[in-house]
Amino acid sequence: MFKFFENLVDPYCDYVETDTPPTKLWPFIMDYAQPFKRVFFLAAVMSVVVAAVEIGLIGYMGRIVDLLIGDPADVWAAHKVEFLAVIVFVLLLRPLLQGLDVLLLNNAMLPNFGTLIRWRAHKHVLRQSVGWFENDFAGRIANRIMQTPPAAGEAMFQVFDAITFSIAYVVGAALLLMDADPRLVLPMLIWLVLYGALVRWTVVRVGPASQKASDARSQVTGRVVDAYTNIHSVKLFAHNQRELEYAKEAIDYSRDTFQQEMRIFTIMDVVLVFLNGLLIVSVVGWAIWLWMQGQASVGVVAAATALTLRLNAMTGWIMWALTSFFRQLGVVAEGMETIAQPIDLVDVAEAKPLQLTEGKMEIDALSHHYGRGSGGLDAISLTINPGEKIGLIGRSGAGKSTLVKLLLRFYDAETGRILIDGQDIAKVTQDSLRDEIGMVQQDSSLLHRSVRDNLLYGRPDATEEMMIAAAKKAEAHEFILDLEDPQGRKGYDAHVGERGVKLSGGQRQRITLARVILKDAPILLLDEATSALDSEVEAAIQSTLYGMMAGKTVIAIAHRLSTIAEMDRILVLDAGRIVEQGSHADLLAQGGLYAGFWARQSGGFLNADEAAE
């Protein structure tokens, strides 16, 4: 039975992806809610049915009171079939109806609605560009991905569990009182207007207050995660207290916003108690007055009393459900600031996969300044022939990393273009472009998974033998076999910790190299590929690196000039432009920037400060 309702909606069903999701709250929610239309309709119907049953039972209690005025023997003789039918209804049919209602809410809707939103939101965010991620805290992004789905699910739950039910209940209560005596409806209508005014006052304030509080919580998460992610720096500089103060500022602001939110609820509760007292006194008092005038039966008084007491008990729940509904919408609205952002770097319409034949690269008047008007690259043009090995050097900020990011299309160039085998990379699919490029970064962070998972990231279909062979070429196999994590997993099954923190920098770098060796892409980008290695290990894998380059088009960034001295051509970038190019010998003979860098190296590294002088 549970499986049937749990499978009414598939949260991973196919849908039309969009680069520009709705930015308004209700269109955003309804876009995600499309697969649930049938479940929502059934839930609304069942909510009305359950409310009608509740009202019917209260009305029937009044009838019982009137019947009990007569002789017990006569009452039983005349109404025993009716009483037995009601008993069967209360014991059997009513639980079935109630069960169907909660199965739709608790099993068909709540787990699947949150799952669908989290899945699609994560899928959307993963499509964002590297630049988009660089402009926000990873912790805040993750927090919004995690808290928005349950908030949206809770909001939809309240719609059918409380809002639809309460509307049906109030309408049914009014009809019941009208059937007993139309005059009893008047005090209830007056109360309803006042209650509606209180609801409006509350929800107008609680939505913005909740969104503000939710944003404050995300800020706390972002700051805390930032400290945890950079815990080595925190400990290295002995800045525990500084991080505590930094977090305390956000935590205090979160407390303040939550206090403002709670003040609204306190005012609401006090006013609600007064309004409920007004409801009881007016409706029950009027019913008793009508009975004293002989215009209402004892059963009418009993039904009116039971109904108002039930409404009194319900109003707090209804108000809390309504405010919870708008609070959750506030959380969703805050989450939309991340989830509903348009994709800022997309494949063009009808983009085709890159067809790589030789690996020739042409860079034509390429400029990119990150929207600042300076820095980055400034109108560079360059042709890299198939299989050519290019070394790239320059001071920090000269544009080396910008060029690599543009080649990978992590950003779209502001002007100019890049061609690979005659195809503009802005017009091919991003995935196909990156499939053809192997990249070793200076920051060799790893996934918090096993060594095997990290290696196979380069080529998921590789065999165990291929993976181990790649690890051996990167001088990683021996130390991998000695690894063991706190859970007792060993060797290639050992987990490396967040960003590979359980490994040394050199070990991480060798695993990164092995991953790229395993990928075996025809274009190779190396950004300080051996910077984290000691001289002995670097010497051991130097031949492996040059073996990797065989038959590939290569661009290698290096500050350790000895690592690129054997390249076919070396480019010197300065202020975003190519100022020198040629072989190592040619550049030394020119006596320019490269010759100065070479002369000023200490231990093979570029002394950027002295070079700048």
What is the per-residue pLDDT across 523-567, written as a single tens digit (0 to 9) for each?
Answer: 999 887 665 556 666 666 676 777 778 888 999 887 777 778 888
Q: Give residue for tokens 């770098």.
A: 509
Predicted local confidence at residue 613, as pLDDT: 41
162 has a pLDDT exceeding 90: no
What is the per-residue pLDDT across 364-374, written as a single tens digit (0 to 9) for each?
Answer: 999 988 877 66
Predicted local confidence at residue 374, as pLDDT: 67
Predicted local confidence at residue 532, as pLDDT: 53
Predicted local confidence at residue 353, as pLDDT: 93
Counted residue by residue, the chain has a size of 613
80 has a pLDDT exceeding 70: yes
Matching fold, domains 9-339 and 354-436+522-534+549-613: no
User: What residues does each domain of the chain span?
Assistant: 9-339, 354-436+522-534+549-613, 442-520
Query: pLDDT category, 461, cuts 50, 70, 90?
Result: very high
551-587: b (≥16 Cβ within 10 Å) or e? ebbbbbbbbbbebbbebebbbbbbebebebbbebeeb
Say whether domain 442-520 belongs to CATH 3.20.20.70: no
Determine how many CB atoms are found less than 10 A away from the CB of residue 488.
8
The answer to whether residues 346 and 544 touch, using CB atoms and an 8 Å cutoff, is: no
Predicted local confidence at residue 531, as pLDDT: 59
Q: What is the mean pLDDT of residues 161-186?
A: 79
CA angle 494, 501, 447 (to 5 degrees): 65
424 has a pLDDT exceeding 90: yes
Predicted local confidence at residue 170, as pLDDT: 80
Sheet of 423-424, strands arranged across: 377-384, 361-368, 415-420, 423-424
> Mean pLDDT of all residues in the chain?
84
Q: What percent of the chain has pLDDT over 90?
A: 28
Predicted local confidence at residue 530, as pLDDT: 64
Residue 602's DSSP bridge partners are 605
| Helix (H) or strand (E) segment spanning residue 6 | helix 2-6
Write the CA distances from 473 to 16, 425, 428, 448, integer angstroms. 44, 31, 33, 23
Strongest mean pLDDT among 458-467, 493-502, 589-598: 458-467
Residue 569's DSSP bridge partners are 390
Level-2 CATH architecture, domain 9-339: Up-down Bundle (1.20)
Provide CB contacts within 8 A for 64, sequence distance 6+. 299
Residue 311 identity: L
Q: In a 10 Å sphere around its CB, with 0-12 CB exposed, 13-18 middle and 19+ buried, how is residue 80 labelled? A: exposed
Q: Using CA atoms in the order 130, 131, 137, 140, what is the torsion angle rounded to 10 degrees?
A: -70
Give the residue among 546, 530, 548, 549 at the shortest CA–CA distance from 538: 530
Beta strand pairing call for 553-557 and 389-394: parallel
Q: In a 10 Å sphere around its CB, with 0-12 CB exposed, 13-18 middle and 19+ buried, how is residue 501 labelled? A: middle
What is the per-residue pLDDT across 125-156, written as a single tens digit (0 to 9) for each?
Answer: 988 988 888 887 777 888 888 888 888 888 88
What is the per-residue pLDDT across 392-408, written as a single tens digit (0 to 9) for each?
Answer: 988 888 888 889 889 99
Q: What is the mean pLDDT of residues 299-320?
A: 77
255 has a pLDDT exceeding 90: yes
3-state helix, strand, coil in the chain (%, to 5): 65, 10, 25
Predicted local confidence at residue 306, as pLDDT: 79
Provide CB contacts within 8 A for 27, sequence distance 6+. none
Predicted local confidence at residue 602, as pLDDT: 45
**Mind giving me the DSSP string for 14-57?**
-----SS---SHHHHHHHHHGGGHHHHHHHHHHHHHHHHHHHHH
Q: What percent of the chain has pLDDT over 70?
A: 94
Write the CA distances from 268 to 210, 264, 308, 426, integer angstroms. 15, 6, 19, 56
Q: What is the mean pLDDT of residues 21-46?
A: 90
Q: What is the mean pLDDT of residues 258-279?
A: 85
Distance, C-alpha 516 to centroid of its chain: 29
What is the per-residue pLDDT across 202-249, written as a single tens digit (0 to 9) for each?
Answer: 878 877 887 788 888 888 888 888 888 788 778 878 888 889 998 999
DSSP 602: B
Query: pLDDT category, 59, cuts 50, 70, 90?
Result: confident
Tell me, which fold does domain 354-436+522-534+549-613 have in CATH? Rossmann fold (3.40.50)
Q: What is the mean pLDDT of residues 458-472?
A: 92
Q: What is the largest CA-CA distance in the chain?
A: 123
Query: pLDDT category, 603, cuts 50, 70, 90?
Result: very low
Q: What is the mean pLDDT of residues 91-106?
A: 91
Using CA atoms, how far apart are residues 475 and 542, in angstroms rounded to an integer?
10
pTM to 2 decimals? 0.75
Predicted local confidence at residue 455, as pLDDT: 93
Q: What is the mean pLDDT of residues 262-285?
A: 84
Predicted local confidence at residue 97, as pLDDT: 92
Determine how many CB atoms are found less than 10 A away from the CB of residue 359.
21
53 has a pLDDT exceeding 70: yes
Q: What is the mean pLDDT of residues 116-123?
A: 91
Predicted local confidence at residue 113, as pLDDT: 92
Using CA atoms, how far apart are residues 322 and 328, in angstroms rounded to an integer?
10
Provide CB contacts within 8 A for 571, sequence distance 6+. 382, 390, 391, 392, 393, 578, 580, 581
Q: What is the mean pLDDT of residues 22-32?
A: 88
Q: What is the mean pLDDT of residues 346-363?
A: 90
Show the tokens assigned to 290.
């009508």
